[in-house]
A and B are shown apart, each in its own frame.
Chain A
């Protein structure tokens, strides 16, 4: 990777120095050069570490401390409460567990179809077809929308009174659904918002991986009489294993942080509650609820740490799962 030239000083002239002054100059130049080679790389990477230390590491370390206190802007003093916040969170906070259930419910409901449809779409995009670039651009287009825009558009698509979905249901004779009222209905609606924005993105990632698979393997399989479906499951999926693991972990990290779509699914000031009975309040919404509505900052610290723990654990579980599934084939 690195080359010896990185450290080698430029070869100096072989002649002896003409005058003492020129000699000194050259010496200074060499010292500067050595300093440059040794320290400039650190200067080049420094900006990241300065920003990360102040706005990344410091807040995280502080979160560990704050979670052990009862800090609140309403309290004049801060007391150390040990693990009380965690005990309450784990044993005596149904609203937190409600948020955990909602988050995981929507995560599964959105991620599974999202990645499967992305795989199918990528497989289709990988075929020879006229207007290939048009198809790719059109499929990728939702990535330009913000989560706020997605939530607003779909809020109207799922409106109870004049919504498109209820109109479609009406066409086939199904009664209108109040998409915000029920737990499953709201999860479903929110999951489709997530999927609409991310399927195309994941499809492009899969497509890139599919294009790097050697085409001869497919030709050999076709000669042996393997159907396209068989080729997909026996060649494409196993070859895509690292990519599937990558997308699954990215989706886990993103999915468990779900926030904007459920927040903007309802309007008005109480949106952070996630529906009349919190049926779609996610962990991140609950975190801000505790922080900004109840002003229990110490407790919010504990919620944030639990969220991080859940993300880490489930990323790891999904990693193991994806490794198993795709190596079975």
Chain B
């Protein structure tokens, strides 16, 4: 699904002379190149600087002029932050993997089920239900934050992982994305053939729809994992106990108590970003393709 958007804008021209002109029309001017390089620099510099500060002693991190080259203290700073009992960052990492992983699996599964139903099955009230899902995406979590908090207290989920997992198991975005993809990627003939062979709706889903949706499911999984890994507002509300945080809440604890120790804080941000950095290095093209694909459809 990414290949369609990721090709360069090659102008369709057959005659060599016209093609030449068209190529010139789309060639980047020197100013454009300079602008892009500047953009890339600004975009990447904070990552570089994160490494610089995380690999310095705290004294070197807080010096004038500021350091611009990495030092040799990375391992030391990382072990300091891992051992920091107030931040519980190891626990935070494990919790974040658990929470983001569970939500990702659930979103892909429920999203593909519902997306298939909305794209290919006929049932009464379909459009009204779709509209409700669309509306749900417009409502910020702040609107219901207080009753939701009270509900979590009643369920005795405060300071536990279900409070940041269960409400987010399936959202409107996943359903819409899978529905868009299923509409064009699942051939009706195939569904029909499966029906003739006596497949139930579930078997059609399992044997026909799931294989066809695989590329979109992968992208949805990547985007969901990234979003959930970075969740802050709601975990901040319900995970007040610093001993059982997600990794983002660990960072918040660091900032509250160790704000003078920048090299430790930056080692923390490095650890918290590393999993998504690896995901981005491995699947960056798919992630970009997913964002662009979604934009064209909406």
Bound CA span A207–B294, Å: 12
Bound CA span A11–B143, Å: 51
Q: Which residues of B contact A315 (CB under 8 A)?
A: 138
Q: Which residues of B contact A147 (CB under 8 A)?
A: 230, 232
Q: Are A305 and B232 in contact (CB under 8 A)?
A: no
For B231, give the chain A residue with the smallest CB separation: A146
Q: Which listed residue (B12, B23, B66, B252) contacts A148, Cβ 8 A?
A: B252
Q: Are A2 and B144 in contact (CB under 8 A)?
A: no
Number of B residues near A (Cβ < 8 Å) is 117
Q: Which residues of A contact B123 (CB under 8 A)?
A: 38, 41-42
* Known A144-B273, A208-B296, A267-B256; contact A47-B113, beta-carbon cutoff 8 A: yes
Bound CA span A54–B166, Å: 10
Give the distance to chain A from B114, nearest Cβ to Cβ, in Å.
4
Q: Which residues of B contact A2 (CB under 8 A)?
A: 120-122
Q: Are A3 and B44 in contact (CB under 8 A)?
A: no
Give the distance to chain B from A286, nearest Cβ to Cβ, in Å.
11
Q: Which residues of B contact A63 (CB under 8 A)?
A: 143-144, 146-147
Bound CA span A228–B29, Å: 10
Q: Are A125 and B36 in contact (CB under 8 A)?
A: yes
- Tell whether B237 is near chain A: CB-to-CB under 8 Å: yes
Size class of the A contact interface (CB-based, 8 Å) = 35 or more
Q: Are A48 and B36 in contact (CB under 8 A)?
A: no
Q: Which residues of B contact A16 (CB under 8 A)?
A: none
Bound CA span A100–B295, Å: 30
Bound CA span A295–B279, Å: 41
* Known A58-B147, A60-B139, A66-B146; contact A148-B248, beta-carbon cutoff 8 A: yes
Could you show 15 A-B contacts with beta carbons less than 8 Å apart?
Answer: A3-B122, A5-B195, A10-B198, A47-B169, A52-B136, A56-B167, A60-B144, A66-B146, A133-B6, A133-B285, A138-B44, A149-B273, A156-B262, A196-B43, A271-B255
Give the distance to chain A from B57, nearest Cβ to Cβ, in Å.
13
Q: Which listed residue (A1, A3, A8, A304) contacts B146, Cβ 8 A?
A: A304
Q: Which of A87-95, A181-189, A209-217 is the contact stretch?
A: A209-217
Q: Which listed residue (B12, B46, B114, B295) contacts A196, Cβ 8 A?
A: B46
Q: Which residues of A contact B292 (CB under 8 A)?
A: 204-205, 207-208
